[in-house]
Copies of this chain bind each other. A is one copy, B any other.
Amino acid sequence: MPDSTSPSSPPTPVPAPSPSHARRSDATRAAILDSARERFAADGYERATIRAIARDAKIDPSMVMRYFGSKEGLFAAAVAVDIRLPDLGTLPRQEVGRVLVAHFLDQWEGNEVLTALLRVGAGSQAGAERMQGVFRDQVMPVARRVCPDPEQTATRAALTAAQLLGLALTRYVLRLPPAVALPREEIVAWLGPTVQRYLTAPHP
């Protein structure tokens, strides 16, 4: 499986990436990616079929193959994820928890790619490795700026990830009714101090 955590060059047979002026097929490409993201988020990797994605995008399944090489390639292109964590080093330390929870909620509310990534990450070994890559390349560097003790960074980042991904799991994937019903500000009020403690409090 190609590495999706870095935007590696796609295996598209289109000869040269001419960034000067748009190709006519860019719209189709985007439509495929949109449908793919939706299907992967809703159904997971296996149940999201190329045929169904192509039907949603109103094109032939073979076009998906031509543009993205394989189902794996399509998935890699569809969930090239950048969670754009803010630089937590520039704000007061006692606000880190609440800001991070609020940012996390914003990202998940407006980006079905994250749901797709979590669904697939939980569903297969390859998906799990993708999430490990996101954690390593995007979460850990930010955590390093908040808790300078390098020996504790990994632990504190993992605790934070457990709390935040658990929220995403129960609210956006499993959809446990009380987790869905929780208002945004209440989540921030409850989870903010938890994350704050995981990142900055002394080892218990």
Contacts and interface: CB of A to CB of B under 8 A. Distances in A.
A31 interface: no
A170 B177 CA distance: 22
A165 B191 CA distance: 15
A44 interface: yes
B159 A165 contact: no
Contact of A155 (B173, B178, B198): B178
B179 A161 contact: yes
Interface residues of A, number: 47
B190 A159 contact: yes
Most chain B CB neighbours (cut-off 10 Å) among A175, A193, A194: A194
Given A119-B122, A132-B176, A193-B197, 17 more contacts: A46-B123, A122-B122, A122-B123, A122-B173, A131-B176, A132-B177, A154-B178, A155-B182, A155-B186, A157-B178, A158-B176, A158-B178, A158-B179, A161-B170, A161-B179, A169-B169, A189-B204
When all copies of this chain in the complex are counted, the total is 2
A162 interface: yes
A118 interface: yes
Interface in A142-190: 154-155, 157-159, 161-167, 169-171, 173-179, 181-182, 186, 189-190
Given A166-B164, A169-B162, A204-B193, A135 B176 contact: yes
Interface in A5-46: 43-44, 46
Main secondary structure of the interface of A (DSSP, over half): helix
A174 to B, nearest CB: 5
Given A124-B44, A182-B158, A193-B204, A165 B175 contact: no
30 contacts: A43-B124, A44-B46, A44-B123, A44-B124, A46-B46, A47-B123, A121-B173, A122-B122, A122-B169, A122-B174, A123-B123, A128-B174, A131-B174, A132-B176, A132-B177, A154-B181, A155-B178, A157-B178, A158-B176, A158-B178, A158-B179, A159-B190, A162-B163, A162-B167, A163-B163, A163-B194, A165-B174, A193-B197, A193-B204, A194-B194
